[in-house]
A and B are shown apart, each in its own frame.
Chain A
Amino acid sequence: AQTVTQSQPEMSVQEAETVTLSCTYDTSESDYYLFWYKQPPSRQMILVIRQEAYKQQNATENRFSVNFQKAAKSFSLKISDSQLGDAAMYFCAYSSPNFGNEKLTFGTGTRLTIIP
């Protein structure tokens, strides 16, 4: 079974600085998808960024980028120019093409605090 581990329960960063959230996963599959979801205080989960394992190029979405290290099974999220609105819980997630979305496995989350 796939597992997703987020070893940082909490992180904080000064506004306008850069922060990196860690995620590692365990799988025997060669093709899969990785996600970062954000859960702000409003509770609604929002997709931040998505990476396909067969793509070597790291995904980027504006101030958000990932460092995908397939061999190391690592998928970290970098937030540049942190803003107050980035304060949230961040969840790393994994899904397998063999099972689809019903097997979306989440990590335990990292609470990110932005210091003004």
Chain B
Amino acid sequence: DTAVSQTPKYLVTQMGNDKSIKCEQNLGHDTMYWYKQDSKKFLKIMFSYNNKELIINETVPNRFSPKSPDKAHLNLHINSLELGDSAVYFCASSPQLTGAGEKLFFGSGTQLSVL
């Protein structure tokens, strides 16, 4: 069983469209995250959710909105897609938010290409 699974793995869409990426973790973790990896492989956190509460939003445009229906799921909705949104988006989870030394469990990423 995959610990952190996200779908789809690849997403190709036109500029201006709205799309969603789904993420599910079966580890019973309290905290989930979305990271963005740009074309130069730089990873930066976008959001973290702890017990369904948004904890941080790192200068991310409000076209991006995380939605957490329950502790095991954190979906990412993107409105009005732009060319610059093309990247690989990673979902991750950890047991707690405040455990700074904890291991993050990552999904395998969603490669988003905006044409």
Contacts and interface: CB of A to CB of B under 8 A. Distances in A.
A96 B100 CA distance: 6
Interface string A28-42: 000011000101001
Given A101-B102, A102-B56, A108-B41, A43 B97 contact: no
A51 to B, nearest CB: 9
A28 to B, nearest CB: 16
Given A91-B43, A108-B40, A101 B99 contact: yes
Interface string B71-115: 000000000000000001010101011111111101111010000
Which label, helix, strand, loop or mixed, suits the secondary structure of the A interface?
Answer: strand
B44 interface: yes
Of A37, A39, A42, A96, most B-chain CB atoms within 10 Å: A39
B48 interface: yes
A104 interface: yes
Nearest to A91: B43
20 contacts: A39-B41, A42-B108, A43-B111, A44-B106, A44-B109, A45-B106, A47-B103, A89-B41, A97-B101, A98-B100, A100-B96, A100-B98, A100-B99, A101-B48, A101-B102, A101-B104, A102-B33, A102-B48, A102-B56, A106-B44
Interface of A: 32-33, 37, 39, 42-47, 50, 52, 89, 91, 95-104, 106, 108-109
Interface of B: 31, 33, 40-45, 48, 55-56, 88, 90, 92, 94, 96-104, 106-109, 111
